[in-house]
Chain A
Amino acid sequence: MIPASFDYTRPGSVEAAVAALAADEEAKVIAGGQSLLPLLRLRFAYPTLLVDLGGISELRGVRDAGDALEIGALTTHYELTRDPLIAAHAGLLAQAAGTIADPAVRHRGTIGGALSHADPAGDLPAVITALDAVLVVTGPGGSREVSPGDFFADYLTTTLAPGEILTSVRVPKLGDGWGYHYEKFHPTAQAWAIVGVAALARRSNGHVAEARIGLTNMGSTPVRAGAVEAAAAGAEASATAMRAAAQHADQGTSPPSDLRAAADYRRHLARVLTGRALAKAAGV
């Protein structure tokens, strides 16, 4: 990798990191480096300063916070796949993290980095959108909490203000009756999703009481498939009913056409894959 030159700092606290960021508007945060390093390598980005969060131990790991899990921004994808709290209360996150790229990337890439990069083809943005997670952001003025809908602004763009860092993700614990499935459609194991569907369904008395669907790569930001959620709520927990509800999956989306797939094919895939993901989440 032959990037343009930059300065580097490795602060020991969030406050110091925020201060370093705030002092240089061309500074970039680096955590696992799995998105930033390719940009530097290709000289698509010319930061003057890299603020390495790697020395901030408080950003690591998963903590039980009562009704929710507090996941530090530096938690790696690999750790998401192995953490017992995640497995018990937010299994969708572990399942989806296990599909990201390859083992080398999963051992380096972090949840905070993946979300802040805001690639709509990334898996975790749609997953935390479906999970109704809250993003905790710290800046010069202190901390604030942001919903996924307010965090993801556009393709590779978040509403993080200059000097702000995503410090943790608060994921509500899934209660009894919830099932989940992440259906990822990618041409090779290491490739990004053409379309991904993060599905959650709460079953009650043979019916789906509640469903939440997040779509990967169906627009410039992760998308909630509201029409499917509405159609699934109260429906019989059957493959046929889930497939029927999923016919609305592409409503309100604006999928891209690119090298990998045209928009109409993505719309079709969203419907088929949502049906499958919902059925698995509903246990049918």
Chain B
Amino acid sequence: MTATADHEVGRARARKEDARLVTGQTNWTDNITLPGLAQVAFLRSPHAHARITSVNLDAARTAPGVFAVFAGPDVAAEQGSLPCAWPVTEDIVIPNHPPMAVDTVRYAGEIVAAVVARDRYAAADALELIDVEYEALPPVLDMPAALEPGSPKVHAEGNKSYTWTLANGDLDAAFAGAPVVIERTYRQQRLIPEAMEPRAVVVAPVADEFTMWSSTQIPHVLKVMLALVTGIPEHKLRVIAPDVGGGFGSKLQVTAEEVLALILARRLGRPVKWTESRTEGNAAVHHGRDQIQKIRIAAEADGTLRGLDVDLLADMGAYLMIVTPGVPLLGAFMFNAIYKMDAYRFNCTGVFTTKTPTDAYRGAGRPEATYAIEHIMDDLAVHLGQDPLEVRERNWIKHEEFPYTTISGLTYDTGNYEAATALAKDLFQYAELRKEQSARNAASAAVRLGLGVSTYTEMCGLAPSRVLGSLRYAAGGWEHAAIRMLPTGMVEVITGSSAHGQGHETAWSQIVADELGVPFEDVRVLHGDTAISHKGMDTYGSRSLVVGGTALVSACGKVREKARVIAAAMMEVAPTDLEWADGRWAVRGDPDQGKTIGEIAFAAFAAHDLPDGVEPSLDSDATIDPDNFSYPHGTHLCAVEVDTETGWVKIRSYVAVDDIGNVINPLIVDGQLHGGIVQGIAQALFEEAAYDDSGNLVTASLADYLIPSAADVPSFTLARTQTPSTLNPLGVKGVGEAGTIASTPAVVNAIVDALRPFGVTDVAMPCTPERVWRAINSAVNNAPPALGGTTPRQPPAQNQTDGGGAA
């Protein structure tokens, strides 16, 4: 009897979690209700920077349905400071970060008071009765200005948090006498992660024990941190992340709201809930990106890279949150990307401003790095009169050169950039599109064509604990998995990685089905509850499958070995006489004699005839620390049409060839890529968290913060090459962030490529129609092309010149 005939891994299984998610049968955190549940609402600062001179809570405290109202001084003694787990240098400035402001607010949206009330309406009404007086302080909004000696200070310690440097090779020698040196400054605009499900938290106190439900990516890390911040003993805390509707890094956090909900529940001795509105979240969820990138490359006359010099300013916002200062460091290892060079220097200064704190956002450091290097590689190609793919190929690591230790010190195990690029060019019809582009340029067409290239790589599978330690990160990067074999042969899988939309339940089931020879349907995956899944490092950095999947395979192996001993006793043969074949233990040379895991599990349950010293259980677990990161790569090609009369950009076609190693479930992979590519396109074309001159967020709602929908993007052509990772037994590399990392430079490079005939060398992100239109006009009217020489410069279309006169 064979449990499953075919391999589950590799099948495009529909996700088993989706039925409950899309039919409203699950409990999101906000759906959870408890007897006596009170609602929390927070009053937030309308000022970017101000001293709190007085708070009057009297009217709110006596409002109908209000149980309690607190301002900062009421909780100051017990609220602690929100943790920063990544002090990247010895002399880093980590300011005190009270969950509720006590005397000073440093960004618009910072919490200044809390109401606990009978229902959300009473709580919101009472917020309006709180009278806070502020004494305005000057906002600090611009990073370079913030570092000037006379700048107003965000914190008494100053506006610089740290400077961190990585260097390898002789940079001076690389630049001295280099035939080509190109220097650029790019801007990574500030972005707001927009998870479908807003944040929410419920806390239930029972005597001196607390259960927290939170819409979080990191229940395990959160539990440890809550214990450290509040002093509640760790074993009296239970954190549950129920089904969570997206995170993108924004729920990789220990939030002020979580800490305050815990404190308020303890104070009142009753369960409390807080759920944010979208507008509240836009101001208070940590933001992403926000860097000024000065990048310089030195090359030989043929385009061979000699050196790379990167100088970043990274906006921390007003405080350091859990991994705020470390996000740019994840990019430090990725600016050199797939390219070989002799010397590299990376320098990053973290700057405080009076804006919402920044932290990890899908890709976390790697999209920033990939954007800058892929943009400047295009600039180099134009300077040399080469095709952008030609200059890349000249510099990339050849497939026969793997494993390859890069200039930033990582060892890439496998990859084949040639194969991915060749397939992408073919699917894209690269040569034909180049011809069409030339024809449009020659005809001075009003609508131009641009082709954008992004040959990205990234580091996934965060992370080897010793590497994290060397980077001064406080925790490790291992992952845990456990298997519980039930008497009827069903399997419960416990994973420490906490899914929030990634489809773990399906992918993990497929892996276990193959590893244990059980049907896909017989596997149930449990996660996100620290009382069930007691160990874990949670989900971020494309780590779940690479690290958590490895732990899962290891745990399955232990189950099999335990089963082997019992199976041997059942069949009265020696364990060494058995072989694992077709999903069961069979007698070598007598394949008709065998036992499935289910049969063995029941024997273990009955435990009647177990050999001496054999425990009546197949249950096993494993904790795995990876030896290295994994390195997905790929080639994304984007064709845009740019209407030079209006600045309108239309993505005409998009080809993504990704090499993510082995694929567990192609349907989930395609979904990750679709969403990821759109999220990267969103940075290129649509999204920006904008502040006015007084530091107010003007993109507080989704009417102003534009996120694209399916109607705004084309269908993508997806394909894959496969060079399996050699670093884990599944041969997987990770795919959660690949699309986002790859697509932003592909789109912007395409836009700039379309406009180079006008002398345009860059368009600041997001490349809105107005910015594109102004880039054309300012290049045509004022400036010669910044990159002279080999670019054929076409006169602009006649009608465009007419239009430009309006400005």
Does chain A have a CB within 8 A of B176? no
A188/B773 in contact, CB under 8 A = no
Residues of chain A lying within 8 A (CB to CB) of residue B708: 188
B686/A187 in contact, CB under 8 A = yes
Q: Which of A185, A262, A268 has the most CB of B within 10 A?
A: A268
Residues of chain A lying within 8 A (CB to CB) of residue B124: 2, 4, 43
Kindly specify which of A74-82, A155-163, A211-219, A269-277 makes contact with the partner chain: A269-277
Does chain B have a CB within 8 A of A189? yes
Contact of B646 among A43, A191, A260, A273 (CB under 8 A): A273
Kindly specify which of B286-294, B531-539, B698-706 makes contact with the partner chain: B698-706
B773/A189 in contact, CB under 8 A = no
Dominant SS among interface residues on chain A: loop
B646/A269 in contact, CB under 8 A = yes
B645/A2 in contact, CB under 8 A = no
A267 to B648, CA, bound (A): 16
B116–chain A nearest beta-carbon distance, Å: 15
A185/B279 in contact, CB under 8 A = no
B806/A191 in contact, CB under 8 A = no
Contact of A2 among B277, B712, B774 (CB under 8 A): B277
Does chain B have a CB within 8 A of A15? no
B769/A259 in contact, CB under 8 A = no
Question: Binary interface profile of B, 526-559, with partner A (CB < 8 Å = 1, else 0)?
Answer: 0000000000000000000000000000000000
A257 to B105, CA, bound (A): 30
Does chain B have a CB within 8 A of A265? yes
A4/B125 in contact, CB under 8 A = yes
A71–chain B nearest beta-carbon distance, Å: 27
Dominant SS among interface residues on chain B: loop
A268/B698 in contact, CB under 8 A = no
A261 to B703, CA, bound (A): 14
Residues of chain B lying within 8 A (CB to CB) of residue A189: 709, 711-712
B806/A185 in contact, CB under 8 A = no
Does chain B have a CB within 8 A of A26? no
Does chain B have a CB within 8 A of A41? yes
Residues of chain A lying within 8 A (CB to CB) of residue B402: none
A267/B686 in contact, CB under 8 A = no
B730-783 CB contacts (< 8 Å) to partner A: 768-770, 773-774
Does chain A have a CB within 8 A of B120? yes
A264/B806 in contact, CB under 8 A = yes
Does chain A have a CB within 8 A of B690? yes
Does chain A have a CB within 8 A of B803? yes
Contact of A190 among B121, B277, B704, B709 (CB under 8 A): B709
Contact of B706 among A4, A5, A187, A262 (CB under 8 A): A187
Contact of A188 among B648, B686, B774 (CB under 8 A): B686
Contact of B803 among A41, A261, A262, A272 (CB under 8 A): A272
A233-282 CB contacts (< 8 Å) to partner B: 243, 250, 259-262, 264-265, 267-269, 271-273
Residues of chain A lying within 8 A (CB to CB) of residue B22: none
Does chain B have a CB within 8 A of A194? yes
Q: Which of B770, B773, B807 has the most CB of A within 10 A?
A: B770
Per the CB 8 Å criterion, the residue count for chain B at the interface is 33
A183–chain B nearest beta-carbon distance, Å: 10
With CB as the reference atom, state the residue of chain B lying closest to A267: B806
Question: Binary interface profile of B, 641-668, with partner A (CB < 8 Å = 1, else 0)?
Answer: 0000110100000000000000000000
With CB as the reference atom, state the residue of chain A lying closest to B705: A259
Known: A272-B646, A273-B646. A188 touches B770 (CB 8 A): no
A43 to B686, CA, bound (A): 27
B768-807 CB contacts (< 8 Å) to partner A: 768-770, 773-774, 799, 803-804, 806-807
B637–chain A nearest beta-carbon distance, Å: 23
Does chain B have a CB within 8 A of A154? no
Q: Which of B121, B125, B709, B769 has the most CB of A within 10 A?
A: B769
Contact of B698 among A185, A187, A259, A272 (CB under 8 A): A259
A99–chain B nearest beta-carbon distance, Å: 11
A189 to B774, CA, bound (A): 23
A144-177 CB contacts (< 8 Å) to partner B: none
B803/A191 in contact, CB under 8 A = no
B239-277 CB contacts (< 8 Å) to partner A: 277
B704/A259 in contact, CB under 8 A = yes
Can you report 20 residue pairs joining A to B where beta carbons are below 8 Å apart?
A2-B124, A4-B124, A5-B125, A41-B277, A42-B701, A43-B128, A185-B648, A185-B769, A188-B706, A188-B709, A188-B711, A189-B711, A191-B703, A192-B703, A259-B690, A259-B704, A264-B806, A268-B773, A268-B806, A272-B803
Q: Which residues of B contact A (CB under 8 A)?
A: 120-121, 124-125, 128, 277, 279, 645-646, 648, 686, 690, 698-699, 701, 703-704, 706-709, 711-712, 768-770, 773-774, 799, 803-804, 806-807
A-B pairs, 4 with minimum CB distance: A189-B711, A268-B806, A2-B124, A265-B770
| Seed contacts A4-B124, A102-B711, A265-B774; 9 additional CB < 8 Å A-B pairs | A2-B124, A188-B686, A189-B711, A190-B711, A194-B769, A261-B770, A268-B773, A268-B804, A268-B807
